[in-house]
């Protein structure tokens, strides 16, 4: 086993953590600055954290525009990055000034949201309009602040391309989500050949009451 304490270094060519915890859904987050400037950026650290109410969150290494805008406005939108949108999504990861509109930079179409101010990505097959529920600077185990911020938001409107709904069930394969892997450039896709179905065991099968 290759074992190490992260505080002492991993002794490898590249930090393995984001390759191990992978693949991950992409937090493609749109926000708006106080002056109305649109911002769109992908985040590797993103997920769903609660059903009712639905809460999603993304973490930013460094206090970037998405964090500042979301905290100031109390709103953000998550847009699903499909494989077909890989190129534009990657364009929005460029390090640019806060005055740059990444929708224009990537040739994407902003469409007005229903309940929040930031626009959705028209080309994305799924979008969540969110109201910020918490913004938290992360700390280590000794409660020392680190340079990352977690933004959590309650999903208040869900938009789904109806072509992805089959008999009332969302078809994840048809949505073809692009997933972030490890290293500087690894992404993954999903396919039917990799599907695995398992039902939860019921209580009776375990002798519980």
CA dihedral 113, 115, 117, 119 (to 10 degrees): -20
Helix (H) or strand (E) holding 68: helix 65-73
Contacts of 188 (CB under 8 A, 6+ apart): 22, 23, 178, 179, 180, 181
Q: Is the pLDDT of residue 15 over 60?
A: yes
Helix (H) or strand (E) holding 157: strand 145-160
pLDDT, tens only, 174-183 = 999 999 998 7
Contacts of 165 (CB under 8 A, 6+ apart): 171
Q: Which residues pair with 150 in a beta bridge?
A: 59, 136
pLDDT, tens only, 66-112 = 999 999 999 999 999 999 999 999 999 999 999 999 999 999 999 99
- What is residue 205's predicted lDDT score, i.e. its pLDDT? 59
Residue 120 near residue 129, CB atoms below 8 Å: yes
Q: Is the pLDDT of residue 209 over 80?
A: no
| pLDDT above 70 coverage of the chain, percent | 97
Average pLDDT over residues 133-139: 98
- What is residue 208's predicted lDDT score, i.e. its pLDDT? 53
Q: How confident is the model at residue 152 (pLDDT cuts 50, 70, 90)?
A: very high
- What is residue 50's predicted lDDT score, i.e. its pLDDT? 98
Strand order in the sheet with 45-50: 38-43, 27-32, 75-79, 126-139, 145-160, 55-61, 45-50
Q: For the chain, how long is the longest CA-to-CA vector?
A: 61
CA distances from 202 to 77, 198, 199, 209 (A): 37, 12, 9, 10
Average pLDDT over residues 164-177: 97
Residue 157: count other Cβ atoms within 10 Å of its Cβ: 15
Q: Give 18-191's CATH code, choosing from 1.10.3470.10, 3.40.50.11540, 2.30.110.10, 3.30.565.10.
A: 2.30.110.10
- What is residue 202's predicted lDDT score, i.e. its pLDDT? 80
């Amino acid at each position: 086993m290759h074992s190490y304490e992260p505080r002492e270094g991993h002794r490898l060519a590249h930090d393995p953590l984001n390759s191990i915890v992978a693949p991950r859904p992409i937090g493609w987050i749109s926000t708006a600055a106080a002056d109305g400037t649109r911002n769109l950026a992908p985040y590797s650290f993103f997920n769903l954290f609660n059903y009712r109410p639905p809460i999603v969150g993304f973490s930013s290494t460094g206090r970037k525009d998405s964090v500042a805008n979301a905290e100031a406005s109390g709103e953000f939108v998550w847009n699903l990055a499909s494989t077909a949108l890989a190129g534009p999504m990657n364009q929005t990861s460029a390090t640019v000034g806060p005055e740059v509109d990444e929708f224009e930079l990537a040739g994407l179409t902003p469409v007005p949201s229903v309940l929040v101010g930031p626009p959705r990505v028209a080309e994305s097959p799924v979008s969540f309009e969110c109201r910020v529920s918490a913004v938290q600077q992360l700390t280590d185990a000794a409660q020392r602040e680190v340079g990352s911020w977690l933004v959590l938001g309650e999903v208040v409107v869900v938009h789904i391309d109806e072509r992805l709904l089959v008999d009332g069930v969302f078809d994840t394969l048809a949505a073809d989500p692009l997933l972030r892997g490890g290293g500087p450039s690894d992404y993954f896709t999903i396919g039917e050949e990799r599907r695995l179905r398992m039902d939860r065991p019921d209580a009776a099968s375990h002798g519980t009451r």
